[in-house]
Amino acid sequence: MTTGHRGRAGARPGTRSHLRAEGAGDLLHLVRSGRATTRGALQQATGLSRATVGQRLDRLFRAGWLREGAGGPAGSPLGGRPAIRLEFDDAHAVVLAAALETRHARTALLTLGGEIVAEHAAPLAVEDGPDAVLGELGARFAGLLRESGRPAGSVCGIGLAVPGPVDSETGRVVQPPIMPGWDGYDIGGRLRRAFAERTGGPAEVPVLVDNDANLMAYGEQRTHYPDCSAFALVKVSTGIGAGVVVGGEVYRGIDGGAGDIGHIRVPEGADALCRCGSYGCLAAVAGGRAVARRLTEAGVAAESGWDVRALLEAGHPTAVGFAREAGRHVGEVLATVVTLLNPGVLVIAGDLAGTPFLTGVRELLYQRALPRSTAHLEVVTSRLGERAALVGAATLVVEHLYAPERVEERLVALGV
C-alpha cells in the first residue's frame, strides 16, 4: 500500500494535462472539479455516448461515490428538461489526519470535503521516537472515531504532517534535524499497524506523509487561495520551514528538501549553533527556540516556540521586541525567496506568526526585495491557523485516492 506521494516528477493527484476520458475515474474528476456536473455535460466534455457515460456513472453510484443533486437552473446542454446535477458524495467515507510538532500533536477526523468532525490536541514529544509517537497517534485516532460515532471501516486514508523533510517516493523522513530516531523509519507501516490495533480498522489503510510546512501551504492554498498559481507559506515555530505550491501542486524538490529555509546561513548567526550541527542557520537566530533562549537570557522563562507564543499572546514587551527582530531576520531571507518565486501570496504561520513578527518580516522584505517582485504580493498570516496542516493532510489523501487512475484500481477492488 502506498505510504508516500506520487513520483517526484508526477502531477498532483487528481489532475491531468490531457483528459483521456477512458474510465469512470475521468468522469468523477470532471464532476469533482466542477467542469461537468450533468450527464449531458459529461457527454459533451468527453465525446462519449450516452450509454457509455451511463455505464461508467453507474459504477460510481454503486461505489457510493456519486449522488444526484437538485436539477440545474438550465436545461441539459443537449436540450430537454432541466438536467439533474451530479455531486461527489463526500459523506461516504472519512479521513484521519495528524500534525506533529516538537512537543505537541493535533489529530482530527475530517469529511472528504475537508470539514473537521472531531479534533484533539495534546502534548506529545516527537523526540520520544517514532514507535511510541505513532502508537499514541493510533490511540488518539481511536478516540476520535468513538467521539464521532464513526466506524473504523469508514476511514479511507490517513494523512500525517511531520516537522522534517520527507522523501516523496517513500514517505520516510530524511535526516530530520529535530526528530531524533526518525531518519528512514517506516512511518506508514507503523501508523497503519497502530490504527488497526487500536481501532480494529483495515490493516492496509493508505497512509500519506509529508512535511508540515508543505501540508500547511497546500491546505491554505486549496482552501482560501485556489486561484493563486504561485503560493508560499513560511512556518515559524520551534524551527523554520517553507511550503511552496506552484500551479496547484506542492513543490518538493528532488528528494523532499525544498523549502528548508531555516538552514540558510545568515551573517548575524555566525556564533549560533543550530540543532542540525551547523553554525549560522536562520532557525538558530530567528526560530522559536532561538527567541526562547534569548528570553531566558533576559530573565523571562521560555523553552520553545510554544512558550514564546504564550508570551506574545499576553503582550509581553520583551517577547514582542524579540519577535519583531526575528521577523526582520526572516524577512531578509524571504526577500530572496520572493524574488526567485514571485508568489502572489506569502503566508506567515506558526507559533510566532503574530503582528510583531509579521511587522518585522514586512520591514525587511519590502526593503530588500525588488519592487517588481512585491508589486502584486500579499503578505498575510494564516487563515486556517493550527488546523492548516490537518486540512492539507486530509486534502492530500482525498486527491490521492480519487485521482482518475486510482479510481479505476479502487473500483475493481470493490468489485463494481
Provide the pLDDT confidence category of residue 18 given band limits of 50, 70 and 90.
very low
Average pLDDT over residues 389-408: 96
Q: In the structure, what pLDDT confidence band is assigned to residue 238 with cuts at 50, 70 and 90?
A: confident
CATH architecture of 24-88: Orthogonal Bundle (1.10)
Portions of the chain given CATH number 1.10.10.10: 24-88
Residues of the chain with CATH 3.30.420.40: 94-205, 226-383
Among 3.40.50.10320, 3.40.1160.10, 3.90.1150.10, 3.30.420.40, name the CATH number for the domain at 226-383.
Answer: 3.30.420.40
Sign of the dihedral defined by the CA atoms of residues 27, 32, 34, 35, in that order:
negative
pLDDT, one tens digit per residue, over 34-50 is 999 999 999 999 999 99
d(CA 312, CA 365): 22
Q: Does the pLDDT value for residue 76 go beyond 80? A: no
Which pLDDT band holds residue 276 (cuts at 50, 70, 90)?
A: confident
Report whether pLDDT(66) > 90.
yes
Instruction: Measure the CA–CA gap between 296 and 282, rounded to whole angstroms.
Output: 19
Q: Is 17 exposed, middle or buried (0-12, 13-18, 19+ CB in 10 A)?
A: exposed
- Is the domain covering 94-205 a CATH 3.30.420.40 domain? yes
Mean pLDDT of 177-199: 95
pLDDT at 166 over 70: yes
**Alpha carbon distance 369, 339 (integer Å):** 6
pTM metric for this prediction = 0.89
**pLDDT at res. 81:** 64
Q: What's the pLDDT at 13? A: 42
Give the pLDDT score at 15: 42
Region 336-351: what's the mean pLDDT? 96
At residue 74, does pLDDT exceed 90?
no
Q: Name which of 5-9, 160-164, 187-191 the model is least confident about.
A: 5-9
